[in-house]
């Protein structure tokens, strides 16, 4: 273990400068990065790949979407019948309709009250990070004084900064995604083709997912496969829905498999904040009691 240097007043200025530099460096970099990688591994859309990147910084939310090898996917969308679906149980659908109707009646008055109560969660998350970074720099400035609890204040400011980046801001981002139009967005989402393609238009499906931790984030791997009724002749859809098509048959060509990887990470430069505790050890602050003794000795001379 490296020997710890003796405290010196000049170390305080160095620590303050390094802390301010790192705070500005982190402030102007991306705070949250989400990536989605998807590929069709089997079926007519294969080998189409989809790549999506979302980066959030202090001012903007940047989104980049790229589709590679999209020729097969283009012809797949032209060939596929978007109206194909599995027969739905009439009793369950009627129950759902009744529940939706009653829910709309009960929630009518609530929607009027919540219109003015929507909050910009992403702005709140950004504000929390700005406050935390300013508090971190000010806590290091406090180390130049003789305040008794200055070390505790600096530690709390450092932990608050990590919490703002690792907990508060991601939580605000998720609340921002789930907020907005409320019930209207939920109803719209269930009527889109993307919402129905796995639950209605695919049969004999198989889905799996695997969750894992990565550096400064999480990773979710998901696989989905099934038979797309949109690629099956209308007269054969009932048969395909009832039993798996035989291998080599025309209906078996409707099988599609898709693999995806979703990663959400803190910004690439945020781990540089972990340098600060090491700097505190290598550049220790002067003990307030020793500082007072030095001042008293100078006055006596």
* Sequence ranges of the domains in the chain: 9-81+134-179+205-300
Q: What is the pLDDT of residue 148?
A: 84
Provide the percentage of residues in the chain whose pLDDT is more than 90.
37
Q: What is the pLDDT of residue 291?
A: 53
Q: What is the pLDDT of residue 140?
A: 93
Give the number of residues written for the chain: 301
Determine the Cα–Cα distance for residues 41 and 256; give it in Å rounded to an integer. 8
Residue range 8-19: mean pLDDT, rounded:
89
Nearest to 167 by CA among 47, 258, 31, 41: 31
Determine the Cα–Cα distance for residues 75 and 177; give it in Å rounded to an integer. 32
For residue range 170-196, list pLDDT tens digits in order: 888 888 877 644 444 444 444 433 444
CB 140 within 8 A of CB 191: no
C-alpha 2: how far from chain center: 39
Residue range 93-98: mean pLDDT, rounded:
47
Determine the Cα–Cα distance for residues 128 and 226; give it in Å rounded to an integer. 45
3-class DSSP string for 129-191: HHHHHHHHHHHHHHCCCCCCCHHHHHHHHHHHHHHHHHHHHHHHHHHHHHCCCCHHHHHHHHC
CB 244 within 8 A of CB 264: no
Mean pLDDT (the chain, rounded) = 79
Nearest to 25 by CA among 53, 58, 66, 54: 58
CB 240 within 8 A of CB 227: yes
Provide the percentage of residues in the chain whose pLDDT is more than 70.
76
For residue range 33-69, list pLDDT tens digits in order: 989 999 999 999 999 999 999 999 888 889 999 999 9
CB 56 within 8 A of CB 66: no
Indicate if the pLDDT at residue 162 is higher than 90: yes
* H or E segment and range at residue 227: strand 217-228
Determine the Cα–Cα distance for residues 271 and 215; give it in Å rounded to an integer. 9
Q: What is the pLDDT of residue 136?
A: 95
Nearest to 132 by CA among 271, 31, 23, 28: 23
pLDDT category, 87, cuts 50, 70, 90? low
Give phi and psi for 19, each to the nearest 5: -65, -45
Q: What is the pLDDT of residue 104?
A: 52
Indicate if the pLDDT at residue 16 is higher than 50: yes
Determine the Cα–Cα distance for residues 277 and 154; give it in Å rounded to an integer. 10
For residue range 108-149, list pLDDT tens digits in order: 445 444 444 456 888 899 999 999 999 999 999 999 887 888
Burial of 45 (0-12, 13-18, 19+ CB in 10 A): buried
Q: What is the pLDDT of residue 116?
A: 42
Q: How far apart are the first and last CA of the chain?
A: 39
Residue 271: how many other CB atoms lie within 10 Å: 12
Query: Model-level pTM?
Result: 0.67
Contacts of 218 (CB under 8 A, 6+ apart): 211, 212, 263, 264
For residue range 205-246, list pLDDT tens digits in order: 899 999 898 888 889 999 999 999 888 888 888 888 888 888
Residue 64: how many other CB atoms lie within 10 Å: 10
CA R_g for the chain: 29
Q: Three-state DSSP class for 233?
A: coil
* H or E segment and range at residue 98: helix 90-114
Q: What is the pLDDT of residue 153?
A: 94
């Amino acid at each position: 273990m490296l020997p710890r240097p003796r405290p010196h007043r000049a170390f305080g200025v160095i620590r303050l400068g390094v802390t301010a530099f790192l705070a500005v460096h982190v402030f102007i970099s991306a705070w949250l990065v989400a990536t989605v990688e998807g590929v069709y591994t089997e079926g007519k859309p294969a080998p189409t790949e989809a790549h999506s990147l979302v980066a959030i910084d202090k001012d903007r939310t940047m989104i980049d979407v790229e589709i590679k090898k999209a020729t097969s996917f283009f012809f797949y969308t032209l060939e596929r019948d978007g109206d194909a679906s599995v027969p739905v149980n009439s009793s369950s659908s009627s129950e759902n309709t009744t529940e939706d109707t009653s829910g709309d009646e009960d929630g009518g008055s609530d929607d009027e009250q919540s219109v003015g109560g929507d909050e910009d969660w992403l702005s709140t998350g950004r504000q929390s990070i700005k406050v935390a970074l300013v508090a971190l720099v000010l806590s290091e400035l406090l180390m130049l004084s003789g305040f008794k609890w200055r070390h505790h204040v600096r530690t709390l400011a450092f932990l608050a900064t990590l919490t703002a980046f690792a907990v508060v801001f991601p939580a605000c981002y998720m609340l921002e995604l789930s907020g907005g139009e409320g019930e209207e967005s939920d109803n719209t989402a269930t009527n889109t083709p993307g919402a129905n393609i796995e639950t209605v238009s695919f049969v004999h499906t198989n889905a799996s997912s695997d969750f894992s931790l990565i550096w400064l984030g999480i990773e979710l791997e998901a696989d989905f496969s099934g038979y797309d009724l949109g690629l099956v002749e209308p007269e054969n859809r009932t048969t395909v829905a009832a039993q798996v098509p035989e291998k080599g048959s025309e209906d078996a060509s409707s099988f599609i498999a898709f693999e995806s990887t979703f990663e959400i990470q803190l910004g690439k430069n945020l781990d540089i904040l972990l340098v600060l505790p090491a700097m505190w050890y290598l550049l220790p602050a002067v003990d307030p009691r020793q500082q007072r003794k030095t001042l008293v000795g100078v006055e006596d001379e």
